[in-house]
Structure 1
Amino acid sequence: MQLGLVGLGRMGGNMRERLRAAGHEVVGYDRNADRSDVTSLAELAEKLDGPRAVWVMVPAGVTDTTIDAVAEVLSDGDIIIDGGNSRFSDDAPRAERLDTRGIGYLDVGVSGGVWGKENGYALMVGGAQEHVDRLMPIFEALKPAGEHGFVHAGPVGAGHYAKMVHNGIEYGLMHAYAEGYELLTKSELVTNVPGVFKSWREGTVVQSWLLDLLDRALDEDPDLSDLSGYTEDTGEGRWTVDEAIRLAVPLNVIAASLFARFTSRQEDSPAMKAVAALRQQFGGHAVHKR
């Protein structure tokens, strides 16, 4: 099957290679000419037979402008797929805008990171069944081997919604491992922290791919001394918490893990300064001066 692919960064470039290895014809476009197969979106469209399908894999900040630019070179009966980390609420307006041109739209939450080329990508798809059916050869090539790793989650927006919740859960899981790591490092008894994590990889209920990756990181840097604790967030954790507030769902773990990332960016927390000052004022507790 033919596919146009716009955005050939770490994820998009690896997806192109995985699809080609499965026998699909992929025409890729990227603003970086060294990565691109064509010089323009117009040339990309010309190289695809109709009805065409173009997968957009760009950062969230430029998704709408990119989709609008792709739509300009497509025609009635074509489909655009957004596989980036878009907010789910942006999907319905995009689909409506494209529908006036006769262009279909699918939103796909993609998980797999830099390992997806080898292991496959978990795909969460939103959109009309007819569009999903048409793109199934592509989805089958991208997903991991076996029965799992793909879901048609619902109508337009459902794919990115599912990926948003996935990322919120990921925040919580990562932070639980991180807290356990810190506690082990502070223990007077445990002298082989990397070995403890390695032992958990088989036969325990906490085994997971994230645990495997933490073990790998500890193999490379046993006390993580080469890293700063400063941790960014992509926005998906925030969107998950926003939805929890809207729907009155208590996301205690996910919310706490998001706020912990904010704390990591403060060299000297103003809030904790205020707590220290209050403890001194009402209880005469000692404070640490700078």
Structure 2
Amino acid sequence: MELGMVGLGRMGANMAQRLLRGGHRVAGFDPGEQARAAAAANGIEAAASLAELVAKLPAPRAVWLMVPAGKIVDDTLDQLLQLLAPGDTIVDGGNSNYKDTQRRAAMLAEHGIAYVDCGTSGGVWGLAEGYSLMIGGDEAAVERLRPLFATLAPSPDSGWGRVGPSGAGHFTKMVHNGIEYGMMQAYAEGFAILQHKAEFALDLPQVAEIWRDGSVVRSWLLDLTADALKKNPEMEGIAPWVADSGEGRWTVAEAIDLDVPAPVITLSLLQRLRSRDTDSYADKLISAMRNEFGGHAVKQS
């Protein structure tokens, strides 16, 4: 099958390479010249523009977007709308907000273009291990692209599936990422407790390796944690600052809208925000309050 890939960053380029290995033809476009050159060196037919990319594809065309969520998706769709024709399909494999996806799908449907949302998990390991794909959109459009999904997934019959109509794929991936926040926070807190118990001088890489086999907390995330601890058990040179992609925030907002209690995911998000406040005004004020009502000592900076 033939596909056009828009966005040749690490994730997009890796997905394109997995498709090439599966016998598909992939043409790609990226605004960055270096990204295009790297893609071409790996067998991807690089195009210098979206127009050139679309011209390389036979009808009905399939174009896969791997670009950051937000305005850039809308801008890319506006350009593609001038180039594609009824019967073509666009796949958004990024982390778009599902409400934006529903809006975009309705807009493109008016022009006869199918819009498939594909929540994609697997990160840098996806090229070798395959990607977990949570797909939303028209059933017929998804079925037409089955060969692509089957190639990208860990196996043709596992790790992927259509989960519902437009927006369902990105919604499912959003909650997936929220769960990921909670799991990461739990592992981090547990290992922090172990690390602070100085009298036992615990070997954290050893503990992680023990837990990887037979333990009820074993997981691929623990495998990656064990690898990170083995490389750098003291986390030297790493700042205590944790970014978020936005999907944790969306998950918490959705939980509130649906009246679903989600304390673990919510607190894990708040901890990420907390990590960025290196000069906390709130903490200083609490210290001042304790001094005011109880005469407690204030630690000077």
In the superposition, the TM-score normalised over structure 2's length comes to 0.94
Distance 2:207 2:285 in 1: 37
RMSD: 1.2
The answer for the alignment partner of 1:208 in structure 2 is 219
The answer for the alignment partner of 1:32 in structure 2 is 32
Q: Which ranges of structure 2 fall in alignment gaps of 5 or more residues?
A: 37-45
- 1:126 pairs with one of 124, 136, 139: 136
Q: Would you say 1:179 and 2:203 are equivalent positions? A: no
TM superposition shift of 1:146: 6.2
Q: Would you say 1:113 and 2:123 are equivalent positions? A: yes
The answer (yes or no) to whether the contact 1:55–1:81 under 8 Å persists in 2 is: yes
Distance 1:78 1:181 in 2: 49
Q: Would you say 1:3 and 2:3 are equivalent positions? A: yes
SS at match of 2:166: coil
Aligned length: 290
The answer (yes or no) to whether the contact 2:150–2:157 under 8 Å persists in 1 is: no
Distance 2:203 2:52 in 1: 57
The answer (yes or no) to whether the contact 1:122–1:143 under 8 Å persists in 2 is: yes
The answer for the alignment partner of 1:253 in structure 2 is 264
SS at match of 1:161: helix
The answer (yes or no) to whether the contact 1:56–1:67 under 8 Å persists in 2 is: no
TM superposition shift of 1:162: 0.3
The answer for the alignment partner of 2:94 in structure 1 is 84
Look up the equivalent residue of 1:284 and give its one-letter code.
Answer: G
SS at match of 1:256: helix
Distance 2:140 2:151 in 1: 18
Distance 2:244 2:281 in 1: 21
Distance 2:272 2:102 in 1: 30
Look up the equivalent residue of 1:64 and give its one-letter code.
Answer: D
Q: Would you say 1:229 and 2:240 are equivalent positions? A: yes
Distance 1:190 1:88 in 2: 47
The answer for the alignment partner of 2:39 in structure 1 is none
SS at match of 1:200: helix
The answer for the alignment partner of 1:50 in structure 2 is 59
SS at match of 2:13: helix
CA-to-aligned-CA distance 1:2-30 (integer Å, 9 cap, x gap): 11110010100000000000000111111
Distance 2:202 2:172 in 1: 40
SS at match of 2:236: coil
Distance 1:163 1:180 in 2: 26
The answer for the alignment partner of 2:80 in structure 1 is 70
The answer (yes or no) to whether the contact 2:90–2:114 under 8 Å persists in 1 is: yes
The answer for the alignment partner of 1:41 in structure 2 is 50
SS at match of 1:110: strand
The answer for the alignment partner of 1:155 in structure 2 is 165
The answer for the alignment partner of 2:154 in structure 1 is 144
Q: Would you say 1:219 and 2:245 are equivalent positions? A: no
TM superposition shift of 1:34: 3.5
- 2:145 pairs with one of 121, 135, 141: 135
Distance 1:100 1:108 in 2: 21
Distance 2:156 2:194 in 1: 37
Superposed counterparts of 1:274-285, under 5 Å: 274-285=285-296
Q: Which ranges of structure 1 fall in alignment gaps of 5 or more residues?
A: none
Distance 1:91 1:269 in 2: 37
Distance 2:250 2:257 in 1: 10
The answer for the alignment partner of 2:20 in structure 1 is 20
The answer (yes or no) to whether the contact 1:78–1:104 under 8 Å persists in 2 is: yes
Q: Comparing 100-109 with 33-42, which one deviates more in the overlay?
A: 33-42
Distance 2:21 2:91 in 1: 21
Look up the equivalent residue of 1:153 and give its one-letter code.
Answer: V
CA-to-aligned-CA distance 1:118-163 (integer Å, 9 cap, x gap): 0000000010110110010000000012643112111100000000
The answer (yes or no) to whether the contact 2:2–2:24 under 8 Å persists in 1 is: yes
Distance 1:23 1:35 in 2: 22
In the superposition, the TM-score normalised over structure 1's length comes to 0.97
TM superposition shift of 1:211: 0.7
TM superposition shift of 1:84: 0.7
